[in-house]
Structure 1
Amino acid sequence: MNRHRMRPRRYITGFDGIRTLAVIGVIVYHLMPASLQGGYLGVPIFFVVSGYLITDILLQDWLNYGHVRIGRFLGHRMRRLYPAFVTMLLGTTAYITLFQRSLLSNIRATVVTNLLYVYNWFEIGHGQSYFDRFNGESPFTHLWSLSIEGQYYLFWPLIIGLLMLIFKKRSRIFWFMLAMAGISAVAMALLYDPANTNRVYYGTDTRMFAILIGSGLAFVWPSRELSPDIGHSNQLTLDILGGVSLVVLIWMFFQMAGTSAFTYRGGMLLFTIVSAVLVATVAHPGSHMNRLLTNPVFTYIGQRSYGIYLYQFPVMIFYETKVKNIGDHPLVNSLIEVALILLVTELSYRFIEDPMRHYDYSRLWTDFTNFLRAPKFNRVTGTITGLTIILFVITAVGFVQQPSKSAATQKTDLQKTIDKNTKNASKKNAAALKRQKAAAKAAKIKTEQMKTKAALAKLSPKQKKVAKEYNLKPQVVLAMGTTDLTAIGDSVLLDVSPDLQDVIPGAVVQGKVGRQITDVPPIISSLKQQGQLAHNVLINIGTNGTITNGQAEQVVNMIGKDHQIFWVTAHVPTQSWQHQVNTQIKKTAANHPNVHVVDWYKKALNQSDWFASDNVHPNTAGNRKLTKLIANEIASVNN
C-alpha cells in the first residue's frame, strides 16, 4: 500500500449508531432485566467497535511512518478516557463516604485497581456475580470492561508492531487473530462454572475474543482502503448482510440470558461474530448501513456513550437505595433514572470530557505556574476547581475510613440470622428425611384418625403451641404434622425456615443466599436421583432476578406432574422485576394444575412492619405470617 494513495481518515457516523444500540441494551438490562435479558451483550459490541477503530488507527500510523507512535496514541487515549473516569471514581467514592458507608469496604483497592485498569481481575475474587441483582450491588461493578479495554490500549500498540514484522502480510495476521480469538472463546467454554461465572465473565483472557475479532477485521477491512465505488450486486450483498446482522443482534438481546450455559459455550462468540459483520458493513462507504444508523439522536447518544456507560451504575444504585418502591412503578422510576444518567453525562461531557480532550497538555506546567502568579477564576473554572478539591478531600476521608478486614466481614443482624437458620435447617433436614419415610407408613393410620372431630381436637402440647403462635386451625396443624415437603429457595426461605420447620416438621429446606431460577434445575435433579424429592415441593425463587417462561416450565417439568408444587410470589419492592416474576408465577400456575400460587406479595402488600429494614426479608412477625400462608395453602390442596 502506498501512503500517497491513502484517503484521509473519515469519521464513520454509523458507529455512533452501533454504540447507541450497545449502550441502550446495557442500560435497559440494568434497569429492567426482564424486558431485555441479553442487554449485557452491549459490552461485546463495544469491544468489537473499539478493536476495529483502534487497530485501524494504529495501522495507518505503521503504514505512514513505519512504526506506531505509541506515546501519541496513549496520550490521546488518556485525554479521552481518564478525565471522566477519574471524576466518576472521585464523585462516587465521595457520595458513598457521605451517604452510603456500607459500600466503603475495599474502596482503596477498588479505586486503585480501576486507575491501573486491572479491576476486572480484582472483581473475580472480590466481586459478586454480574447477574446477582439484589445482594448489594457495587456502583463500580460495570467498570470491569473498561479495565479490559485499558489493558488492550496499553499492550496492543507494541503487539501490532511485532505482528507486522513477523507476518508481513495483513491477511496472515487476520487469520492469526481469529485463531487467538478462538482460543479465548474455548477458554471461556472450558472455564465456565455455572455456580460462579465471575472467572469467565470478568477475565481478560476469556473476554478478549471480541476485541481480537474487531482488531482482526481492521487488517483485512481497513476503513481508508474501502472504496464507495462498488457494483450494485456487491452493495446489495453488504446491505443484506448488515440488515440481517442488525436484526439478529436485536433478537439475541431479547433471547440470550447471561445465566445460560449456551452463552458461554459459543453463544457469546456467535453474537460477537454477528457484531463484526455489522461493523464491517457500517464501515464500508459503499453500503447503506452507515446511513441507516446515522441520525441526530444516535449521534448524540453515541458521542456520549462512554459517559453514559460510566455514570449509569452509580446513578441507578444511589437512586434505588433512596426510592423504595421501584418494583411498584418500574417504568416511571426507570425513566427518572435515565433522565438523571443523561443529565450527569451531559454535565460531564460539556465541562470535563470535551474541554480536557482538546486541552494542550504541553502547556500544563506553564498554565499552572501562571495561575499561581495571578490566579483568575470565573464562575465555571471556580466551580470546577472547588468541586474537585472537595471531591479529593472527601475521597481521602473515605480511604482513611475504609473498614478493616474484620469490620468489613462483620455481618449484619440479618446475615447472622440467615447463617444461623442455614445451620439449623441442615440439622433439621436429617430428621425431616426420617420423618418423610415414616410419614408414608403412618399416613393411612393418621387419615383414619383425622376422620373424626375428636381426633382433630387431640393436639399434643407442642401442636397446641404451634396452633396458637401461628393462628392455625387444629386440622391444619395435624395435617402439617404428616406432610412431607421439599423447600427450595433463596435467603427469604432461609429467613423463614425455622418457623416453616416448626409447623411442618417433615420439611427439608434447600436455601441459599442469592439463589436464582437457573440454580434450581440441578438441585431438583440431584434430589430426584437420591429419591429425596418430596411429594410437596415449595419454590421460593424470585427475589434475586427475573424468571422467564422457559425457565419456569423447565422447573415444573423436572419436578413432574406427580408432585404438588407451591410457588411463593416475590415481595421485592426495591427491584424492577417484582411484577414480572409474580406475573410469570401466576401464568405457570394457570398452565399446570399441580402448580399452586402462595401469594405472599398480595398478603404482604403495605405491611412494612412485617419486614426487616430492606423491606424484603421478613422479620419475626412476617415469618409467622408467611409460614401460616404456606401451611394453609398446602393443607387446602392436600385435603
Structure 2
Amino acid sequence: MGKKRRYITGLDGIRAIAVIMVLAYHLKLALFKSGFLGVTVFFVLSGYLITGILISEVEEEGTIDLKNFWLRRIRRLVPAVMSMAVVIIFVSTVVNRVIFTKGCKDFLASVLGFNNWWQIFNKVSYFEAAGVPSPFTHCWSLAIETQFYLIYPLILLGIYKLAKSRGEGRAKRGLLFAGVTLLLALISVILMIVLFDPQQDASRVYYGTDTRAFSLLFGALLAILWDYRMVPRRLSASVNMVLGSVSFAVLLVMTIAINGSSNFWYRGGQFVGTILTVLVIYTVLGRKTWLSRFLSNPVLKWIGDRSYSIYLWHYPIILLISKGIKASWWITLIEIVLSVVLAELSYRFIETPIRHGIIGEYLNILRSRPKSRQEKKRQVQVARRSLKVMAGTFVLTVSLILCMIFVPKKNALDTLQKREAKAKETGKMTEEQLAKQKANGSESEDTICTANLTDDEILEGLNLLLIGDSIAVDVTDDFYEMFPNSVSDTKIGRITSLGKQVLDSYIDEKKWEGEGVIFASLSNSPINGELEDIREKIGKDMSLFLTTVRIPHDTFEDESNSKIKKFVEENDHTYLIDWYAASEGHDEYFDADDTHLLSAGAKAYANCIKEAVLDAYKKENIEIPKSRLVSSTDTSTDSSNDSSTNASTE
C-alpha cells in the first residue's frame, strides 16, 4: 500500500456540494433543475482519489495488492448500503407495501453492486416503473463505482507490468497510464452520444457503466497528470482563482438553468460537467483561493464527511414520506432532517468503525493469547460483544429473508394485470374500429353543420383520432361510449415521439381522414419539438387537442404543461384538454402511483375530452357526414314518412 496522501479539506467541500445538488434534485426544488449533475461530480472525485491511491502503491511497491484494495472498498461501501437497505425493507413493509415490493426486487442488485445493469437488462414492465420508484434506484451510481473499482486497478496493473518489462521509466509509465485512460474516457463519451436516441427511453445511456465511466476516467486522468507532474502543480494565484471560480460558477449555472430532461445532457452536457469538475478539483489542489477556502469551511467539511451516508438515506426517506412528489416546505424540512440524522447514525456507528478496521481489530483480539489479566478481560468482552453482534445479525438476516419471501407483495398498481389485459383489448378494439370504418367505405356526401346539431349528435358524428399512452388505455371504454365513430389508439409506455410516428402511420399508410386529432401521448417523455411536427402533419385547418399531464413523480411535468399551454395559445385550431387542472385535489381519481386512473378518474378524463371537443366544434362549425348520425337518419326518415302521409290525405 502506498504512502498516505496529503489531506485536502476542499475535496470534502466538493463532496458536500455534490450531495446537496442531488438531494435538492430529488426534493424537486425548482432551483436545481439538473441536480443529478451532482452524481457526475461524485464520479470525477472518486476517480481522482482512487487512482491517486493506486498510482502511489504501484510506483512504491511495484504492484497493487488487489485483495487488500477490494476489501477496503467493500468495507467502505457495502456495510452502509446493506444497513440502509435492511432498514428500508422492514420499514416499508409496514409503511408502504408498494415500496417494499420494489425494494425486494432490487435488494441484491443494490447490495452486490450491479443495480445499474439490473435496471437495464431486467426489463421491468412500464407499470412497475411508473409511480413511486424503487427505494434503491439511486444505487445505480454505487454500482458503476463498484465496477470501476473492480476493473480499473487491473488495467493500471497490466500497464505497469508491461511498461516495467520493457524497461520504461516512471515518466514513460505515466504517459502510458494517461494515454490509455484518456482513450477509454473518450470511447465512453462517444458511446453516450452514439447510443443516445431521443426517440427512445434514455435509461440505457444514463445507467450504463460504459456510457458513464468517462467521468470516473477523467478524474483518474487528473490524478495521473498530477502525480506524474504532467500539469503545473501551482498556477499563478490570479489564473488559479479565475479558472476555479469560472468552472465552479458554470457548473452551478448548468445545474440551475438547464432542464434535467434536455437532450443536451446526453449530447455532451455530462462531458462538459465532467471537465468543469476536473478543473475545480485541479484548482483546489493548487494555491489557496477564495474557492478553496469556501470549500474547506467546517460546515461543508461536515456534510462532505457524511456525503455517502446522506446520499444513501435521503432517497428512500423522500419516497417513504412524500412518495417522491414535490412536498410542502415543512415536509421537505422533515425529509432533510431525517436524512441527515440517519446519515449521522450510519456514519458514526457503521461507516467509521468498520472503515477504521474494527472488525480486523476484534478478530486479532479473539485470536491472540492473552498475556495479562487485563488482556484476558478485554478478550472476553470482545467475545461477548461479537457473539451478540453475530446473533443479532443472524436474527436480522433470517427475519429479512422471511419478510421478503412471505410478506404479501403489492404492485405499484393494484390493477397491473388488469391494465395489461386491457391494453391488449384496446388494441383489438382499435383494429375493429378501423375495419368498421373501412367496411363502411366512402361516406355520404350529404353533410350537416355542427352548429345545427345537439351535443350528443356532435359527439356521435365526429371521427376523431385519439393517440395516447397507458393513461389513455384506462379511458378507452368511456371514450368509445362518447365518441362511437372515432378511433382510440393507445399503448403502454408510448413516448411522445412514438406517438408522433403513430399519427404519421394513420395519415400516410392507413389514409385516415377525420375531423380532428386528440394527442394524449405526453406522459412518458419530455416534449422536444413534436407538437410543431404534429401540427404540420395534420394541416393548419384540422382541429388538434392536446392534454396536459399529471405525472408527479417525473421531473418534466411542469415543463411539459407549460409547453403545451403555450403551443395552444400560439396556434389556431389547437385546443387544450386541461387534465392537470381538472384532476387537481382529486386523489380518488388515481391508482397507487398517483398517475394512472381508477374508474372515477377515467370518467373524469373522458369528460375533459368531451367538454373540450364540444366547445371547439361549436366554434369551428364544421360539416360532418349525416350518415354517421343514427339519430339524424331516423329523424330524417320519420319526417319523410310524415310528409308523404300528409300529401296523401290532402
TM-score normalised by the chain length of structure 2 = 0.79
State whether residues 57 and 63 of structure 2, in contact with CA within 8 Å, keep that contact through their aligned partners in structure 1. Answer: yes
Partner Cα distance (1:255, 1:130) in 2: 30
**3-state DSSP of counterpart to 1:137:** coil
Equivalent in 224, 233, 243 of residue 241 of structure 1: 243
Query: Residues 336 and 574 from structure 1, CA distance in 2 versus in 1: closer, same or farther, beyond 3 angstroms?
Result: farther
State whether residues 38 and 256 of structure 1, in contact with CA within 8 Å, keep that contact through their aligned partners in structure 2. Answer: yes
Query: Residues 573 and 56 from structure 1, CA distance in 2 versus in 1: closer, same or farther, beyond 3 angstroms?
Result: closer
Partner Cα distance (2:360, 2:592) in 1: 53
**3-state DSSP of counterpart to 2:467:** strand
Deviation (angstroms), 1:152: 2.0
Partner Cα distance (1:222, 1:162) in 2: 19
Identity of aligned residues (%): 32
Residue 620 (str. 1) matches residue 620 (str. 2)? no
State whether residues 330 and 576 of structure 1, in contact with CA within 8 Å, keep that contact through their aligned partners in structure 2. Answer: no
Query: Residues 396 and 574 from structure 1, CA distance in 2 versus in 1: closer, same or farther, beyond 3 angstroms?
Result: same
Equivalent in 215, 239, 263 of residue 210 of structure 1: 215
Note the residue ranges of structure 1 that are not aligned, 5 or more in a row: 457-474
Aligned to 1:486: 465
Equivalent in 520, 543, 560 of residue 540 of structure 1: 520
1:56-205 equivalence runs, <5 A: 56-102=52-98, 110-126=106-122, 134-167=130-163, 168=168, 169=172, 170-193=174-197, 194-205=199-210
1:615-639 deviation line (CA, Å, top 9, x unaligned):
5433333323322231121121112
Note the residue ranges of structure 2 that are not aligned, 5 or more in a row: 368-376, 619-650
Partner Cα distance (2:83, 2:343) in 1: 11
Partner Cα distance (2:516, 2:328) in 1: 34
Partner Cα distance (1:74, 1:451) in 2: 77
**3-state DSSP of counterpart to 1:251:** helix
Equivalent in 32, 50, 56 of residue 54 of structure 1: 50
Deviation (angstroms), 1:385: 8.5
Higher alpha-carbon deviation: 501-510 or 103-112 = 103-112
1:309-324 equivalence runs, <5 A: 309-321=311-323
State whether residues 178 and 225 of structure 2, in contact with CA within 8 Å, keep that contact through their aligned partners in structure 1. Answer: yes
Aligned to 1:637: 616
Partner Cα distance (1:317, 1:159) in 2: 39
1:504-515 equivalence runs, <5 A: 504-515=483-494
Q: Aligned pair count?
A: 598
1:226-257 deviation line (CA, Å, top 9, x unaligned):
87754x4xx33333332232233223324555
**3-state DSSP of counterpart to 1:566:** strand
**3-state DSSP of counterpart to 1:10:** coil
Partner Cα distance (2:383, 2:34) in 1: 50
Aligned to 1:419: 420
Query: Residues 637 and 192 from structure 1, CA distance in 2 versus in 1: closer, same or farther, beyond 3 angstroms?
Result: same
Partner Cα distance (1:605, 1:227) in 2: 58
Query: Residues 382 and 620 from structure 1, CA distance in 2 versus in 1: closer, same or farther, beyond 3 angstroms?
Result: same
State whether residues 130 and 141 of structure 1, in contact with CA within 8 Å, keep that contact through their aligned partners in structure 2. Answer: no
Deviation (angstroms), 1:306: 0.7
Partner Cα distance (2:479, 2:48) in 1: 57
Deviation (angstroms), 1:179: 1.0
State whether residues 184 and 208 of structure 1, in contact with CA within 8 Å, keep that contact through their aligned partners in structure 2. Answer: yes
**One-letter amino acid matched to 1:415:** L
Partner Cα distance (1:576, 1:188) in 2: 21
Query: Residues 578 and 394 from structure 1, CA distance in 2 versus in 1: closer, same or farther, beyond 3 angstroms?
Result: farther
Aligned to 2:34: 38
Deviation (angstroms), 1:35: 5.4
Residue 353 (str. 1) matches residue 351 (str. 2)? yes
**One-letter amino acid matched to 2:270:** M
Partner Cα distance (2:564, 2:442) in 1: 33
Larger radius of gyration: 2
1:344-493 equivalence runs, <5 A: 344-366=342-364, 373-374=380-381, 391-401=396-406, 414-433=415-434, 442=443, 445-447=446-448, 456=453, 475-493=454-472
Equivalent in 502, 515, 536 of residue 481 of structure 2: 502
**3-state DSSP of counterpart to 2:615:** helix
1:412-450 deviation line (CA, Å, top 9, x unaligned):
6622342233233323334545677899975863315x6
Query: Residues 246 and 554 from structure 1, CA distance in 2 versus in 1: closer, same or farther, beyond 3 angstroms?
Result: farther
Partner Cα distance (2:13, 2:497) in 1: 33
**3-state DSSP of counterpart to 2:544:** strand
State whether residues 413 and 593 of structure 2, in contact with CA within 8 Å, keep that contact through their aligned partners in structure 1. Answer: no
**3-state DSSP of counterpart to 2:484:** coil
Partner Cα distance (1:383, 1:340) in 2: 28
State whether residues 127 and 141 of structure 1, in contact with CA within 8 Å, keep that contact through their aligned partners in structure 2. Answer: no
Partner Cα distance (1:598, 1:261) in 2: 27
State whether residues 573 and 616 of structure 1, in contact with CA within 8 Å, keep that contact through their aligned partners in structure 2. Answer: yes
1:508-539 deviation line (CA, Å, top 9, x unaligned):
33433344556555545555554558552323
Equivalent in 221, 226, 231 of residue 221 of structure 1: 226
Partner Cα distance (1:626, 1:428) in 2: 19
Query: Residues 537 and 78 from structure 1, CA distance in 2 versus in 1: closer, same or farther, beyond 3 angstroms?
Result: same
1:296-307 equivalence runs, <5 A: 296-307=298-309
**3-state DSSP of counterpart to 2:447:** helix
